[in-house]
Structure 1
Amino acid sequence: MIKLAAALSALLLLGAAGTAQAAIDARLAPDSVTLTDNGRTVLVYRTRTSDPAEPGRLNYVHPLYAPDGTVLTEDRPADHPANRGLFWSWHQVRIGEEVVADGWFMKGLTFFVRGTKFQGQPDGSGVLTLDVDWIVNSKPELIYVAREVTKVTIRPAATTGQRIEFDTTITARVPGLSLGGSDDAKGYGGFSMRLVQPDRLSFASRGEAVTPAVEAVAAGPAMGFAWPVANAYPAWAVGLACKAQGQPITRWILRRELSMQNCVFPGRAPYAIPIERPLHLESTVVIQPRESAAR
């Protein structure tokens, strides 16, 4: 498990990596934005649903690729069809005391991506800015409940791996909006990852092994995920760190089974989002070579 400590430290170290000329670029399509690093696909952000029966299945990332082209995420797996790559969602979307939508299961909530903008940066990184409306469609009339602005920053790949940063601001457009995780002891919700072969993962935080549990486990502000050292598995480790309102998230739903991984925010109890005080979320994903993690 000490091997994963390097993956976690990379969350800080990779921020300095870059090149003199922009390496990150974007390709826009009617249903997606593909971000590339010197022509190699890093990730695909979904701007439209591919299934009219699931109007809420957009505003997420899949596939996520390792620098060698290995796909690291799954979308719509048979065991949990609501799992979808890298995604940020909540079971409880509330107005006042009423649950008006379930964003996790994509019931009663859809999104309209009103704008996408890409800018290359002097350090070689690239920033994709997404302007997204949250629309509740469970009522006779549509309700515009929130505006989301997400910035996805990709740093150029280095020998130590690749760093991807998600910066999301959710601004309420109606009074009384709140978001909550699953309404049970697990309380899962927030930024989540459905990685490939999750039943083979190992977990570590602060250089120590972490054992999954049914409910959330307390750990450090970053978590490392790694597959066994064998040709049948990705030759990579993945690190994740999350913040809410500037504070590190240290509660984790971890699954060594066919399911997702989640940095838990806010938990079961809903978090109120007053119109004048947006919710600010930050999530950093680092993909690191297995050989580097072994040192």
Structure 2
Amino acid sequence: MLKLITIALLIFFSFTGNAQINMVVKPGGFLFMEGKDSIFFYQKSPKDKNGEYSRCNYIHPIYGADGLRLTEDFPTDHLHHRGVFWAWHQILIDNRQISDGWDLKNFQQKVTNFEFRLQKGVGLMNATVEWKSPLWDNGENAYLKEDTRIIIHPKTGNYRRIDFEIRLKALTDRLSIGGSDDGKGYGGFSVRLKLPSDVAFSGANGPIEPINTAIEAGNSMNISGSFLRDGKQGGVAIWSDPSNPEPSTSWIVRKTASMQNAAFPGRKPVAIPFDQPLILKYSMLVYQDSMSPKQIKKAVK
């Protein structure tokens, strides 16, 4: 539920000051801006395509430095892909699959609480999300509670930083999550970008050529190319926080018609203890021109 005080403050923020992070209420969710520049849209309400692939709790679009949309939603090749999202194929209770959050099968999410505030010029967005399945307790009660914080930093130099902290708390015993049950093992924090023909990838130690399975590339993945208008260079860098549980440096990247994925935990599911949430932290740098591994590391510290 939106808090009325928060909304009142946001309306005030929207009409005062210059070039600060603000939020505008829109049908289905919230648009975040810095001054007149759009940053991203958070999809709060369920959205579907012809009654299928219903999803919420994700970001689309995310905007580049020149205002161009960088992400895709409902792409024809993978209708379940959606902007910036975090999802897993295997969601198990007592080793029985009860949801597929990646393909959106037997999987319902509901945003039960949403807040936004400013703190020293930085935007703080908090969302609480219930995960349910018709295969668990007839879909009446949630089996997992997600608390996600998104921190929106003002633009600095040629980039903007956006931080994600995703807390997954089991509401029942013997809950586990895993990536695709194949050699790829994809799942977790993902970005579906509109990919230019000259897209290139670099990890913490230099250039990377995509392969079919996950690649060990260190804590960063830089996706660069002609992402801006008129073929100008730019890109998105993803940072996997060193505090993330292992594996935290595995990446699945694609040059065409797919998402880019910080693959966790891979094919083998990991348990989420009933008394201890699973915490995953990532950062995104949306930039123009270029960024080196050294610049990326400096930007996220």
Tell me the residue number matched to 2:33. Answer: 36
CA deviation after TM superposition for structure 1 residue 68, in Å: 1.4
User: TM-score of the superposition, structure 2-length normalised?
Assistant: 0.85
| Aligned match for 1:204, one of 197, 202, 205 | 202
Q: Residues 23-102 of structure 1: matches in 2 within 5 Å?
A: 23-51=20-48, 53-54=51-52, 56-102=54-100
Q: Does structure 2 conserve the Cα–Cα contact (< 8 Å) formed by 1:178 and 1:270?
A: yes
Tell me the residue number matched to 1:290. Answer: 289
Tell me the residue number matched to 1:113. Answer: 111
Tell me the residue number matched to 2:251. Answer: 252
Q: Residues 131-280 of structure 1: matches in 2 within 5 Å?
A: 131-138=128-135, 141-142=138-139, 143-197=141-195, 200-228=198-226, 233=231, 235-243=233-241, 246-247=244-245, 249-280=248-279
Tell me the residue number matched to 1:5. Answer: none
- CA pair 116-230 structure 1, distance change in 2 beyond 3 A: closer
CA deviation after TM superposition for structure 1 residue 27, in Å: 1.6
Tell me the residue number matched to 1:8. Answer: none
Q: Which amino acid aligns with 2:72?
A: E
CA deviation after TM superposition for structure 1 residue 38, in Å: 1.2
Tell me the residue number matched to 2:127. Answer: 130
Percentage of pairs with the same residue: 33
Find the aligned partners of 2:90 and 2:63 in 1 and give their Cα distance: 30
Indicate the SS of the match to 2:105: coil
Find the aligned partners of 1:214 and 1:247 in 2 and give their Cα distance: 23
The unaligned stretches of length 5 or more in structure 1 are 1-19
Find the aligned partners of 2:69 and 2:242 in 1 and give their Cα distance: 28
CA offsets 1:24-54 (integer angstroms, 9 cap, x no match): 1112235111111113210001111233724
Indicate the SS of the match to 1:144: coil
Find the aligned partners of 2:174 and 2:52 in 1 and give their Cα distance: 26
CA deviation after TM superposition for structure 1 residue 181, in Å: 0.2
User: TM-score of the superposition, structure 1-length normalised?
Assistant: 0.86
Tell me the residue number matched to 1:16. Answer: none
CA deviation after TM superposition for structure 1 residue 256, in Å: 1.1
Find the aligned partners of 2:115 and 2:78 in 1 and give their Cα distance: 32
CA deviation after TM superposition for structure 1 residue 138, in Å: 3.6
The Cα RMSD (Å) is 2.3
CA deviation after TM superposition for structure 1 residue 57, in Å: 0.9
The unaligned stretches of length 5 or more in structure 2 are 1-16, 296-301
Q: Residues 11-30 of structure 1: matches in 2 within 5 Å?
A: 23-30=20-27
CA deviation after TM superposition for structure 1 residue 242, in Å: 1.8
Find the aligned partners of 1:245 and 1:211 in 2 and give their Cα distance: 26
Q: Which amino acid aligns with 1:136?
A: S
Indicate the SS of the match to 1:215: coil
Find the aligned partners of 2:90 and 2:258 in 1 and give their Cα distance: 20
